[in-house]
Amino acid sequence: MACGKTNKAKIEGLAMSSVLDVDFVRSQFPAFSEPSLQGQAFFENAGGSYTCAPVIDRLTRFYTERKVQPYAPYPASTLGGEEMDEARTRVSAMLGVDEDELSFGPSTTQNAYVLSQAFREWMNEGDALVVTDQDHEANSGPWRRLADAGIEVREWKIDPTTGLLNLDDLQALLDDRVRLVCFPHCSNIVGAINPVKEVVEAVHAAGAYACVDGVSYAPHGFPNVAELGADIYFFSSYKTYGPHQGIMVVRRALAELLPNQGHWFNGASLSKKFTPAGPDHAQVAACAGMVDYVDALAQHHGIAGGSAERAAGVHDMMRAHETQLLQPLLDYVADKNSVKLIGPSEAHSKAPTVAIDLPGSGEAAAAELAKHGIMTGGGDFYGSRPLQAMGVDLEKGVLRVSFVHYTTKAEVDQLLGALDAEL
């Protein structure tokens, strides 16, 4: 069974029953009223999203009114600490996990590295872990380096034609020596959405833990981590309309087993033991603005329920909107004989992250598209392993166009016109 398939009927049903108000969405992002960005269609969202107004407002307030050491008894400090606590409480609730299972760190790359060091201490020589060649290097490189400690690193390889991971191939790698399986929710190159729940169930059945890189998926709707069943889930808030932070969930049963990586006096705190760098107070506090934004969308569209339920409803609206816009782009690229589409050609099984293998340089193509007001990029995007596996020349890389729910049909049309002129 190939990973990367979702329920097409469900997505189509959502598109009919719940329509995203894109004008309201864009009103929440100052970038869309910024004069210098007028006429510029942003298609490098996989590298980082625009920041929503609630996050900017919280950052501004913290830097102007709360920029002191938090948790002291004077008002500015007390309020700063309360805002940090609010962010932890509300983000964890949105993700369906306990507060102390959530950690903030400088980046997902840093979070993954620190956690890999905890596993290095916890695992024994001769133990094994599984990584994929579909991953961004952040969730591949740190784990692969554990081979230096005598840990066997097994590779779950993509199909070189489709770029997909096959669950049967993973099953062949699992035995009683495997302690951890690391894989992406969605690849930043291939774009295929992997069936996380199914993979996690297979991993748990083998007695191992599952580490999921959600960096390329979370911008398209925050997941319920508890429902997915992942033991570890990473994402980056600067790609989910927030500040430059890495956010990591480590579920309690695993977090309590792993050794402390922070100060000795933080070893009993699940939320601190995997963040030796300590918190960036302002950016932690500002992450509550991401929940403000999700809640604003939920309220505007009449989505009720608890935090996780509201986030789920918003997630479904985002995916329906993105899927509707994505299919014409995929059809255009798939039909063009001079280029090659990386990954699935069906929008329902893919995030709106589209990598295109060109005869020439992806970076050069991005420069030409910029003349048409298209903001995108070219290169390997720290995804050299999947590109190599699929036979792409790393010297020229790929052109990657990526969007999110605030993208409009008019912008996609602008992109198609530019591609037609330059490819």
Residue boundaries of the structural domains of the chain:
8-50+312-422, 57-292
* Distances, alpha carbon 336 to alpha carbons 5, 331, 420, in Å: 24, 9, 10
User: In this model, does residue 6 exceed pLDDT 80?
Assistant: no
Quick check: 313 pLDDT over 90? yes
| Confidence check: pLDDT of 15 > 90 | no
Is 60 exceeded by the pLDDT of residue 13? Answer: no
pLDDT in tens, 357-391: 999 999 999 999 999 999 999 999 999 999 999 99
CATH number for the domain formed by residue range(s) 57-292: 3.40.640.10
Q: Which residues neighbour 64 within 8 Å (Cβ) at sequence distance 6 or greater?
A: none
Comparing 8-50+312-422 with 57-292, is the CATH topology the same?
Answer: no
Q: How confident is the model at residue 250 (pLDDT cuts 50, 70, 90)?
A: very high
Which helix (H) or strand (E) segment holds residue 408: the answer is none
- Distance, in Å, from the CA atom of 335 to the CA atom of 329, rounded to the nearest integer, reads 10
- Check if the beta carbon of residue 107 is closer than 8 Å to that of residue 280: no
Cα-Cα-Cα-Cα torsion 130, 131, 133, 135, nearest 10 degrees, comes to 150
The pLDDT assigned to 26 comes to: 98
Question: At what angle are helices 307-335 and 8-17 packed, to 10 degrees?
Answer: 110
pLDDT mean over 313-334: 97
Plot region of 217 (φ>0 → left; ψ -120 to 50 → alpha; else → beta): alpha
Side-chain-side CA neighbours of 285 within 13 Å: the count stands at 26
Q: Give residue-wise pLDDT tens across range 110-122.
A: 999 999 999 999 9
For residues 341 and 337, give the distance between their C-alpha atoms in angstroms, rounded to a whole number.
10
Phi, psi (deg, nearest 5) at residue 408 = -110, 165
Average pLDDT over residues 199-213: 98
Which single residue is written with the structure tokens 């969405």? 25
DSSP H or E stretch at residue 124:
none
Q: What pTM does this model have?
A: 0.94
Asked whether residue 214 carries a pLDDT value surpassing 70, the answer given is yes
**Is 9's pLDDT higher than 60?**
no
Write the pLDDT tens digit of every residue in 125-173: 999 999 999 999 988 999 999 999 999 999 999 999 999 999 999 999 9
> Which range (7-16, 70-79, 121-130, 309-318) has the least confidence?
7-16
- With H, G, I as helix, E, B as strand and everything else as coil, classify residue 17: helix
Percentage of residues in the chain with pLDDT exceeding 70?
96
**Residues above pLDDT 90, as percent of the chain:** 94
pLDDT for the residue 138? 86
The DSSP bridge pattern shows strands 178-184 and 209-213 to be parallel
| Interior/surface letters 380-418, b for 16+ CB within 10 angstroms, e for the rest | bbebbbbbebbebeeebbbbbbbbbbbbbeebbebbeeb
User: What rounded mean pLDDT belongs to the chain?
Assistant: 94
pLDDT, position 423: 85
Task: Give, as one character, the DSSP assignment of residue 150.
Answer: T
Min mean pLDDT across 13-27, 176-190, 208-222 is at 13-27
pLDDT over threshold 80, residue 339:
yes
Instruction: Supply angle C-alpha 268, 272, 278, rounded to 5.
Output: 140
Angle between helices 307-335 and 409-422 (to 10 degrees): 30
Rounded CA separation 291/116 (Å): 29
For the cut 70, the answer to whether the pLDDT of residue 54 exceeds it is yes
Res 2: pLDDT: 56
Residue 14 has pLDDT above 80, yes or no: no
Helix (H, G, I), strand (E, B) or coil at 299: helix
Q: Mean pLDDT across the stretch 400-406? A: 98
**CA torsion angle for 169, 172, 173, 177 (degrees, to 10)?**
160
Q: How confident is the model at residue 411 (pLDDT cuts 50, 70, 90)?
A: very high
| Banded pLDDT at 4 (limits 50, 70, 90) | very low
Q: For 195-251, what is the HEC assignment? A: CHHHHHHHHHHCCCEEEEECCCCHHHCCCCHHHHCCCEEEEEHHHCCCCCCEEEEEC
Mean pLDDT in residue range 178-187: 98
Name the pLDDT band for 18 (thresholds 50, 70, 90).
Answer: confident
Domain 8-50+312-422 matching CATH 3.30.565.10: the answer reads no
How distant, in Å, are the alpha carbons of 49, 96, 115, 135, 376 from that of 249?
21, 10, 11, 18, 30
The b/e string for 279-309 (b: 16+ C-beta within 10 A; e otherwise) is: bbbbbbbbbbbbbbbbbbbbeebebeeebbe
CB 217 within 8 A of CB 195: no
What is the predicted pLDDT for the residue at 3? Answer: 55
Closest CA to 387 of 416, 360, 355, 414: 355
